[in-house]
Structure 1
Amino acid sequence: MKKSLLVFSLLLQFVALGAFAQQTIRGKVIDSLTKESLPGAVITLKGAGISTSTTSDGNFSIKKQDGSNVLVISYIGYNRKEVVVPAGKTDLGQITLTSSSNTMDEVMIVANSIAIDRKTPVALSVVNSERIAEKGGQQEFPELLKSVPGIYATKGTGGGFGDSRINMRGFQSANIAVMINGIPVNDMEDGRVFWSNWAGLNDVTSSIQVQRGLGASKVAVPSLGGTVNIQTRTTDVKKGGFIYQGLGSYGFNKTTFSYSTGLTDKGWAFSAMGSRNVGDGYVNGLAYEAYSYFFNVSKIINDKHTLSLTGFGAPQYHASRFERFTLAYYQDAPQGNKFNPNYGILDGKEKTISGNYYHKPQVSLNHSWIIDQTSSLSTALYGSMGRGGNEFPNNASLFLNTRTGNKYTPVDIDALVDLNTAAQDGKAVAYLQSYRNDHVWGGLMSTYKKKLNDKIDLLGGVDLRQYKGIHYNSVRNLLGAEYVLEVYNGAPTTSRGAGNINNPINMAKTGDKIGFYYDGLVGWQGAFVQGEYSYGDLSAFISLSGSNTSYQRVDHFKYLDSDPARKSAKVNYFGYQTKGGANYNIDQHHNVFGNVGYFEKAPIFEAVFAGYQNKKNADAVSEKILSYELGYGYRSTKFSGNVNIYRTTWKDRSTVNPFYDQATQQFYTANLSGVDALHQGVEVDFKYSPVHFLTINGMLSVGDWKWDSNVPKAVITDVNGAPLAGGSIGPLYMKGLKVGDQPQTTLALGASFDVTEDLRIGADYNYFGRYYSSFVPTLITSENLVPWQVPSYSLVDVNAVFKFKFAGIKSSMFANVNNLLGTEYISDSNAQFNNGISDVNNASVYYGAGRTWTVGLKVNF
């Protein structure tokens, strides 16, 4: 309660301070093509000798002067513009600048696959840097998108730092293309995105463009649900930087520093950013420590060539959870929904038994070349090297049953250390191990654009990638023991492997590999060609892309080093994508668009080599997707809105699930092929500014996502590829069941109110309904089994920002309260079936985060 009063008191102080603000001319400078804000543009009051510059979100304000009513707006690479300020008008709204002929702007648009409002025929939403700064607080990057139609974003499994997840139109992240500066970052083996690898994105993102459905990307990316295109900051034209310090609930403490040299006379520019973020987490025992860094070095060689080197990374360690419980279990816990069974006490201090550590630096070198007035070439060479994994106990049952008290107390890790040290031979009875998922990834993307005439553009390009995933288990913490003894016998186990045939008696120390060790080699060779037509109010495109995905598996433990079979044969899958669409601007207010696309893509790596073996799974076939969409848009000075209707069919989806066999009491791998799904729905969003100081936005998304086929059989294999007795189970009765893991009805309503020109307050309401539990398909072995529907819930967030000058230095204060009402809700649910019934009594769940608050101070210099 005291913390809430503190936040409320700060808001009142913001109002009091803002009351003294003077009236000024205000506006926002944007790019005429992309509609993105232009930070650092210079605004001069003609004849008065007074100038200012736009902020990071493109906004500006300048004091009025008698007799001066013309603004001169200039920005490097853009044509200068003069704007006459009408008498009595103080808010000029959006002011567009057009790029000059010698800039790289249009080329970079092609490279980054940016969609253009009222031109590109796709459904899109944009979150700019201003909203990121004001709404961020303790929210993780995907949560900034939770008010976008068709999106569900939550802190994810366990609620640990960086464990957030995002779903779009019923599709999980593995089927949502995520691109950073036009470079795909989805995992090459299974398509997933691990947001803890990108924990610093809040600090370096200039805008997020969400393209729902097919998207505008030219390359063949897994955009079943859509594309999240993240644009990081480039080198700032203006010299300077900022320092940010944030504090908040549950030990939140974040410090960020940023600096830019500005553009020198010799065409060089450099920007750098670094941050540290620590906290205890909302759930007990989920402490974290994370860092992030970013740099950009740019060189304008001449009016035709520009080079830009960008690098960023986010090394972090965070505690996590791996166990869900029923609602009744949480209700009986003294900690309530904050209960976490996966941490303990070691030497008097908290120590998790389930954590994650990772560092994935990525570096890209971009070259832009204006060949002549009608052609250009943009090329990006990039690479990343990921190192890290998770940690968890070797014997979960032993750890979870060794408590300092009852079942709701921490794990007594000290008692496990005593158990180890009492062993006469020094062999570990209890220890922590680590699944490592290291990788090396390199790629090249190049796009050529040729203007054939004033109506038609032709584009073509290549997308080349090479990836090596290095997967193994290792000893993480011996907990007082001398070694872990692993004896190879080739028998199936409950893990991915049975030890090392090349080292049958392995006395493993900290860091040594145990259990399994294999490499996943993935190659990608893609190319595309696209034609674009634009004349008057009509714009259209047609695109064709093709790619070859090659998979190869190298097993270092299951085969002798001398055995040629340790390296599998290379398996190739040819995929292609064809799509087209058109947008027609009926007049300056109304536009309509439509698009259609069909593509085939390779199954995931684990489906190709089912059961962790080097033999190709004959049932793994290319997945087939057909999607089409219709949209309508309205734009005016005060109101804008969109309506979209979509339908996507997904055939031959490849799915890999765990399967527990009661007879053998072992886990197996279930490979499902031929799974079909249907995703369709309608989305509405709007933005309304009745007066210049008030903006209201909202959206409604209603989906109908369901599985569209039964599965005749699921092939079951153990870790050595041996089939379960009988070889398969089935049929599985999935047809007609709702796709789980995301609410199918979402609604959002938000408002932003400028109390004064220096003080802004905002509020957001989000509703989530028709939320069905996810389920394991191998449990649906009889008809009429229906997964439990999660109760609907609503969340309210509020925020405020006050801008002021301290000793002549521009500064800002931020305040955020997320889940203001302290709503208790279920963010993730897995359906269980007891006697053929799935209900509230047997579903295993995670609760979402309760009320959190954050305050922050940003000082610019």
Structure 2
Amino acid sequence: MKNNFLFLALLVLSSSAFAQDNQKQQDSTKTEKLDEVLVKAVRVEATSPITHSNVTKKQLAKRNLGQDIPVLLNFLPSVVTTTDAGAGVGYTGIRIRGINAQSTNVTINGIPYNDAESLGTFWVNLGDFASSVESLQLQRGVGTSTNGSGAFGASINVLTDAVSKASNGEISNSFGSFNTRKHTVKFSTGLLNEHIEIAGRLSNISSDGYIDRAETDLKSYFLQGSYIDDNTLIKAIAFGGKEVTYQAWNGIDAQTLIDDRTFNSSGMYTDANGDDQFYDNEVDNYNQDHYQLHWNQRYNNRWSTNIGLNYTYGRGYFEQYKEDEDFEDYDLTPITIGGETIETTDLIRRRWLDSDFYVFNASANYKNNEVDLLFGSSYSLHDGDHFGEIIWSEFASDSEIRDRYYEGNGKKTDLSFFTKATYRLNDKVSLYGDLQLRLVGYETSGLTSDRVPFNVDETYSFFNPKAGITYKLNTTNSLYFSYARANREPNRSDFENNATVKPEQLNDFELGWRHNTQKFRLNVNGYYMLYNEQLVLTGQIDTTGDPIRANNGDSYRLGLEVEAAIALTNKFSLQPNFTLSSNKNKETFNSVNGELLDLGKTDISFSPEVVAANAFVFQPKEGFQISLLSKFVGEQFMGNTENEDSKLDSYFVNDFSVTYEWKPKSVFKSIVFSGLVNNIFNEKYVSNGYFGSYDFSDDTSPTGTTTGYFSGYYPQATTNFLVGVTLKF
């Protein structure tokens, strides 16, 4: 591990770009309150005994120059982000407390966004979605009961744009390194006849990527029609996008990381002359459209209800050039040409997913001076077809156009009921309770992409209780404690890799102290997350770059999170946060050279012991802000055996951000100039990778051993910049 003391010294002088503003949104109109009902069922209040961070539209806008939402959240506590293309555009990932995206619940307006089968979250399908976000809450730990796949260590719930009373428009353009460009147009009619608003957005983001050929082309839209009066809000929302992304999920080995860290092997093949070439359409191509209908109704000062409907249509494929593929693997028959039997061919294949996702949410809220009671339910149905096509082959054998060499289907249902209550016992003590029953069914048929029969028929019943207490010491200090239970089902890949995979369980204990004054805010939280059969990342990846997981018996995560906001003067502020943690598998076994070794207690993969960030912000006048943004991530292992070959070095990265808002006297309400220089000290770092082992046969082992190891790395961009201008009218 690099010198942590040096980092802590630098941290005091540097900054974390995403420090949360101390100011709350000023508009507390009935319009905004009704908008917030959309996410009330999955969010918590500031005084709740749930560890969380809130992010506003204003905070997102300061860094929203084209990078994906995970990258914009990079400076929140316990967060580690990564991107395949290296520069924050395209396929990006987020880990919270070492927990990967497959165990992080994401909702948009209370509607589940996680893919029902993979349980992952693909922000690349929603390019520039940050431009349509009103607010966002990140809950660390199990958090409150939510809709969709249960939160298993973290949740992110997003509220899209609120109804605007006044008409407005916005044109935003940004440009930067690696030919990165973002173009956005937004509008709102304001309230027509005091009741109806229509608003929308169109965006296009493109980038060549830091990694070779890791081009990204993201087109997206957001359209909203709203009806509102004093007690009713009805919203019809359509949003989605199309992404075409050149694959960059292969990573590179250790030597290539030294020699040519931007190298990308995706699409590589050998031509007839024996020369290396790269297929120009080795891409991921996917469309996703979401249609939501929300009805919020307030009956009186005590009762309100919310109903939400959703339909998501996703379809697309990834395309690959493959050399010397066996006919047998594609259900093709060997052919004879000129007396020679041909059993292999070069080909181009597409592996498709075509899916429909339906959701129904309903909740009712009752509150008075002592009690805030919420009842809710959610039902979802996912129906996904998986199939593969050969679109070109050097030797076509007996194949015909649009033949499918494999077909399969996955159906998943998810029904949940929950009741949440906050009871104000007196002026100092409030109690929190949360009970959830979740019923999950998953059924598959057909073949996997490897043409192996894949038949799963599983049902799960999960009971997830949660309880907590908040004690208000005085007007500036409060303490809280909470316990939460979570259960979570395996995903599709887990079943493909191990038919006997088990669901995972978590008992989460959180203890915190909140201190809040005008010039100093401090949140301190300790957590103990005790797992049974946690599905941890093995370090290996599948053929689509997705991480492979496996049950690991008993494990735990023990940590301390600290975040603060300090007003040094009326122009300078310091906003640091850090997490210290221990993340352990209680027992680990590993096969080495044919011998099963008991390694005892080992570090859980991708779980650094230190994660820290800071923002040093200078605001010389209203509308003008300069920030120095810093992020430190300690060393981490990519596997669970603490093998030195699987270690990722720690890194310390600094960004520089500036925003200036000019308010001319005519034409525009304001013009906002933004600039961002990432990695200003040109750190060559790696934030993600993979690790695995393989067995030699006795006659091929170069060293006489039977076990070898391999590692892959995803380098992140060196110094790069983005600049933008937003015209508001």
After TM superposition, the score normalised by the length of structure 2 is 0.84
| Structure 1 residues 657 and 586: alpha-carbon distance in aligned structure 2, compared to 1, 3 A threshold | closer
What is the SS of the residue equivalent to 1:250? Answer: helix
Q: Distance in 2 between matches of 1:223 and 1:121?
A: 16
Matched, 1:457 2:344: no
CA contact (8 A) 1:156 1:827 kept: no
Report if the CA contact (8 A) 1:428-1:484 is conserved: no
**Alpha-carbon distance in 2 for matches of 1:843, 1:314:** 34
RMSD: 3.7
Deviation at 1:755, TM superposition (A): 2.5
Residue 201 (structure 1) aligned to one of 129, 133, 152: 129
When structure 1 is superposed on structure 2, of 646-655 and 376-385 the one drifting more is 646-655
* 2:91 aligned with 1:167: no
Instruction: Name the CA distance, whole Å, in 2 between partners of 1:798 and 1:422.
Output: 66
Give the partner amino acid of 2:611: T
Superposed CA deviations along residues 100-122 of structure 1, whole A, max 9, x for unmatched, are xxx636643523x22221x1111
Which amino acid letter does the alignment assign opposite residue 811 of structure 1? Answer: I
Contact kept? 1:124, 1:211, Cα under 8 Å: yes
Q: What is the match of residue 245 of structure 2?
A: 318
* Matching residue of 1:494: none
1:135-184 CA-partner distances (Å, limit 9, x unpaired): 23353210112211111111147778421111111111111111112222
Deviation at 1:449, TM superposition (A): 1.6
Aligned residue among 635, 647, 650 for 1:789: 647
The one of 409, 418, 427 aligned to 1:536: 427
- 1:429 shift after superposition: 3.0
Q: Is contact 1:138-1:852 (8 Å) kept?
A: no
2:475 counterpart SS class: coil
Alignment match, 1:572: 459
Q: Does 1:635 align with 2:559?
A: no
For the pair 1:330 / 2:211, whether they are aligned, the reply is: no
Q: CA deviation at 1:324?
A: 2.8
Within the candidate set 706, 715, 721, 1:853 is matched to 721
The match for 1:186 among 94, 114, 139 is 114
Tell me the equivalent position of 1:774: 639
Once residues 372 and 695 of structure 1 are traced to their aligned partners in structure 2, the CA distance between those partners, rounded to angstroms, is 42
Q: Which runs of 5+ in 2 are unaligned?
A: 1-19, 327-336, 542-546, 695-702
Report the CA distance between 1:371 and its aligned residue: 2.8
The corresponding residue for 1:584 is 471
Give the conservation status (yes or no) of the 8 Å contact 2:71–2:88: no
SS of equivalent residue, structure 1 residue 202: helix
The answer to whether the Cα contact below 8 Å between 2:674 and 2:724 also exists between their aligned partners in 1 is yes
C-alpha contact 2:112 2:148 (8 A) present in aligned 1? no
The alpha-carbon deviation at position 625 of structure 1 amounts to 1.1
CA contact (8 A) 1:576 1:601 kept: no
Closer, same or farther in 2 for the Cα pair 1:284/1:590, shift >3 Å? same
Which residue matches 2:13? none
Cα distance in 1 for residues equivalent to 2:647 and 2:497: 32
The equivalent of 2:505 in structure 1 is 624
Q: Residue 155 of structure 1 aligns with which residue?
A: 83
Counterpart residue number, 1:135: 63
Give the alignment partner of residue 226 of structure 1, picking from 135, 154, 173.
154
Q: How much has 1:289 moved relative to structure 2?
A: 1.2
2:333 equivalent in structure 1? none
Partner of 1:37: 25
Does 2:601 match 1:736? yes
Superposition deviation, residue 830 in structure 1: 2.6
> In 1, Cα distance between the equivalents of 2:101 and 2:624?
37
8 Å contact kept, 1:159–1:320: no
Cα distance between partner residues in 2 of 1:701 and 1:852: 27
TM-score when normalising by structure 1: 0.72
Partner of 1:77: 30
1:173/1:193 contact within 8 Å kept: yes
Q: Is the 8 A contact 1:176 1:228 kept in 2?
A: yes
Deviations 1:325-366 (A, max 9, x none): 33322333xxx21112225699x9975453211111111110
Q: Is the 8 A contact 1:191 1:604 kept in 2?
A: yes
Which of these residues, 74, 78, 100, is aligned with residue 146 of structure 1? 74
How many residue pairs get matched? 675
Q: Once the 2 structures are TM-superposed, how far is the Cα of residue 208 of structure 1 from its aligned partner?
A: 2.2
Q: 1:764 aligns with which of 625, 629, 632?
A: 629
User: Which residue in 2 is equivalent to 1:545?
Assistant: 436
Matches within 5 A, 1:694-773: 694-710=572-588, 733=598, 735-773=600-638
CA-to-partner distance for each residue in 1:682-706, whole Å, 9 max, x for gaps? 1111011122222211111112112
Q: 1:819 to 1:259 in 2, by over 3 A?
A: same
Cα 1:576/1:220, change in 2 over 3 Å: farther
Cα deviation, 1:428-473, whole Å, max 9, x if unaligned, reads 932221222221100111111223x531232211110100121112
- Note if contact 2:439-2:460 (Cα within 8 Å) is conserved in structure 1: yes
Residue 645 and residue 361 in structure 1: after superposition, are their counterparts in 2 closer, same or farther (change >3 A)?
A: same
Higher strand share: 2
Identify the range of structure 1 (785-794 vs 817-826) with the bigger mean alpha-carbon deviation.
785-794
Q: Is the 8 A contact 1:243 1:258 kept in 2?
A: yes
**Equivalent residue number for residue 445 of structure 1:** 361
Distance 1:356 1:168, change over 3 A: same
User: 1:831: Cα distance to partner?
Assistant: 3.4
Cα deviation, residue 609, structure 1: 6.1
Counterpart mapping for 1:31-110 below 5 A: 36-38=24-26, 41=27, 76-77=29-30, 104=34, 107-110=37-40
Return the alpha-carbon distance in structure 2 between the equivalents of residues 209 and 445 of structure 1. 19
Contact 1:651 1:676 in 2 (8 A): yes
Aligned mate of 1:125, from 53, 69, 72: 53
Percent identity, please: 20
Q: Within 1, Cα distance between the matches of 2:567 and 2:243? A: 41
Whether the 8 Å CA contact 1:443–1:465 is kept in 2: the answer is: yes
Distance 1:428 1:353, change over 3 A: farther
Task: For 2:610 and 2:549, locate their aligned partners in 1 and report how far apart those are by CA, in whole Å.
Answer: 31
Question: Could you report, residue by residue, the CA deviation over 1:1-58 in whole angstroms, capped at 9, with x for unpaired residues?
Answer: xxxxxxxxxxxxxxxxxxxxxxxxxxx999xxxx8525xx5xxxxxxxxxxxxxxxxx
> What does 1:267-346 correspond to in 2, within 5 Å?
267-300=195-228, 302-332=229-259, 336-343=260-267
The gaps in structure 1 that reach 5 residues or longer are 1-27, 42-74, 79-98, 399-420, 486-504, 612-616, 661-668, 714-728
C-alpha distance in structure 2 between counterparts of 1:365 and 1:711, whole Å? 50
Q: Does 1:804 align with 2:672?
A: no
1:617-644 CA-to-partner distances (Å, cap 9, x unmatched) read 4x34332211111001110001101111
Code of the residue aligned with 1:737 in structure 2: it is T
Query: Cα distance 1:243–1:692, how it changes in 2: closer, same or farther (>3 A)?
Result: same
Distance in structure 2 (CA, Å) of the matches to 1:656 and 1:252: 32
Q: Find the residue that maps to 1:361 and give its secondary structure.
A: strand
Q: 1:542-565: per-residue Cα shift (whole Å, max 9, x none)?
A: 11111111111121799x9xxxx9
1:684 to 562, 577, 602: 562
Greater Rg over alpha carbons, structure: 1
Q: Secondary structure at the match of 2:603?
A: coil
Structure 1 pair 735–370 and aligned structure 2 pair: CA distance change class (3 A): farther
Query: Following the alignment from structure 1 to structure 2, what is the Cα–Cα distance between the partners of residues 836 and 454?
Result: 75
Report the counterpart of residue 716 of structure 1 in structure 2.
none
Q: Distance in 2 between matches of 1:146 and 1:557?
A: 35
Distance 1:29-1:644 versus aligned 2 partners, 3 A rule: closer
Q: Is residue 381–residue 444 contact of structure 1 (8 Å, CA) maintained in 2?
A: yes
In 1: Cα distance, 2:676 partner to 2:323 partner: 41
Q: What corresponds to 1:597 in structure 2? A: 484
Counterpart position of 2:334: none
Q: Contact 2:267–2:320 (CA<8 Å) still a contact in 1? A: no
